[in-house]
Structure 1
Amino acid sequence: MSSQPQYSAPVPPVSPASAPSRRPGVVPVVALVAGLLVGGGAVGAAWALSDDGRSTANAPADDARDACRALSGFDESKYGAKGPEGDIALNRFAAAGVLSASAAAGDKRYEPLAESVRRAQTLHAQTFDFGKEVKEELAKARDACGDL
């Protein structure tokens, strides 16, 4: 048996000018949004799957109360901090969105709460800041919690 050399087509070198360009900042934004969704989904799923004796008939009210508990423990000044404080803030903000949306899906009375949390999250995702508009929406959501 003779061994024949294997040939492959030459690969042209890639110059920096011909390399695909990436806009700086796109990857962190995608990572942040993905983190919010995964973190919020995980917290919401954990709460939903835990068996705490709640009845299905009260599920929307329970979800609304849990969203309000997440909001009451949420400190926006800790959001983005390194370590456990930042993780807690990120997950409470995400959980408030998931749980308030679940409550609103089950009972239209909770739509104002869900809408305010959603607006706060959307505004924050656009600005990466807890500015005046985001704080106003959080205040509306917390006010809706006071009515529960």
Structure 2
Amino acid sequence: MAALAAGLVLGGGGVGLVWALTVGGGPEGAEADVAAACEVVARTPTIDLEGNNYASYRRWGAAAELAAAAGELDPRYSSIAETLGKPLRIAQASFDTESTEFSEAMAAAREACADF
């Protein structure tokens, strides 16, 4: 399970880096990346680690990586990148998506996107 998580994070990082270097290569690309990340957040209600369907985990990872790419391109988006990445890091570290810490991180991520 840890290998799967590490692979997804590294793969997502590679995709985010390629995106940042090609399509999203400026501050205007950063805004589009955050908008896309928030669209994914809006249609992914939680990170579900049960069973063999990791689609929500992968979506949230992609959203976090897009937001991180935006933060790299434009420091104004560093805060939202941190906020969107936190639920994913909690899920990866504890595999507990029922904790208060996870719920609060998810709420903060949704609020950050709503403010965007």
Q: Does 1:59 align with 2:26?
A: no
Larger Rg: 1
Q: Distance in 2 between matches of 1:74 and 1:42?
A: 22
1:55/1:77 Cα in 2 relative to 1: closer, same or farther (>3 Å)? closer
Aligned residue among 90, 109, 116 for 1:141? 109
Q: Higher relative contact order at CA 8 Å, sep ≥6: structure 1 or structure 2?
A: 2
**CA 1:63–1:40: 2 relative to 1, 3 Å:** same
Q: Secondary structure at the match of 2:102?
A: helix
Check whether the contact 2:44–2:56 (CA below 8 A) recurs between aligned residues: yes
Point out the structure with the larger helix share.
2
Percent identical:
30
- Tell me the residue number matched to 2:6: 34
Structure 2 distance, partners of 1:33, 1:55, is 27
Match of 1:103 in 2: 70
SS state of the match for residue 88, structure 2? helix
TM-score normalised by structure 2 residue count: 0.77
Distance 1:143 1:126, change over 3 A: same
Q: Is the 8 A contact 1:60 1:106 kept in 2?
A: yes
Q: Which runs of 5+ in 2 are unaligned?
A: none
Structure 1 unaligned residues grouped into runs of 5+: 1-27
Paired AA for residue 36 in structure 1: L
Query: Offset of 1:77 from its aligned partner?
Result: 5.7
- Using a 3 Å threshold, how does the CA distance of structure 1 residues 41 and 117 change in structure 2: closer, same or farther? same
Q: Structure 2: how far apart are the matches of 1:119 and 1:45?
A: 19
Q: How many residues align?
A: 114
Work out whether 1:115 is the aligned partner of 2:82: yes
The alignment partner of 2:54 has SS state of helix
Q: Distance in 2 between matches of 1:77 and 1:59?
A: 26
